Amino acid sequence: MSQLTHFDAKGNARMVDITQKADTSRAAEVRGEVVMSPQTLELIEKGGMAKGDVLGVARVAGIMAAKSTPNLIPMAHPIMITGVNINFKILPPDKIEIQGIVKTDGKTGVEMEALTAVSVAALTIYDMCKAVDKAMEIQNIRLVKKSGGKSGDFVREGEKPWEE
């Protein structure tokens, strides 16, 4: 039967006990999008070439956020991240796609770390462009793939490989 494991038998929130789980290699891939006006996308694109690197700052923010996950998500276990990559794809006329991959060798998965990294990278893009475009939207943050751990691998249906 399905259960929300973050609660005990009385319904009280808890950090689930993973003491006895073994350390295994794990990875998670998350994707999401920032949708904006074509003018804003153009400004970001030009900046990446010449001056004002929005995506460079957003990448740093996403990587650092992955490390802050247990301080943000109440029931998340602290975990020793062993690698983070954040990639961006500019999709004219109005979209930036974000990919975050997080790895660990530990007792629990890194889905939350990858979701947090992509969310904070998206928020940083918003922050750096909000002076020209307040109507930007963060869309479609979702887990695309996960490997390692007892619960087995997960691959989201209908996702295409990330090509660069």
Q: Which residues are annotated as a binding site for substrate?
A: 75-77, 112-113
Characterize the bridge pairing of strands 24-35 and 95-106. antiparallel
127 labelled catalytic: yes
Between CA 153 and CA 15 the distance in angstroms is: 23
Side-chain-side CA neighbours of 35 within 13 Å: the count stands at: 6
The least CB distance from residue 19 to its own copies, in Å, is 4
CB of 74: closest distance to its own copies in angstroms? 5
Query: What is the sign of the dihedral through the CA atoms of 102, 14, 156 and 141?
Result: negative
Q: How far apart are CA 102 and CA 63, in angstroms?
A: 9
Instruction: Write down the least CB distance from residue 91 to its own copies, Å.
Output: 17
Pick out residues in 75-134 that bind its own copies (CB under 8 A).
75-87, 103-107, 111-112, 115-116, 119-120, 122-124, 126-132, 134
Question: Of the candidates 15, 38, 91, 93, which one interacts with its own copies according to CB under 8 A?
Answer: 15
The residue count for binding its own copies (CB under 8 A) is 94
Using the rule CB under 8 A, which residue among 65, 96, 98, 149 binds its own copies?
Answer: 65
Distance CA(138)–CA(66), nearest Å, equals 18
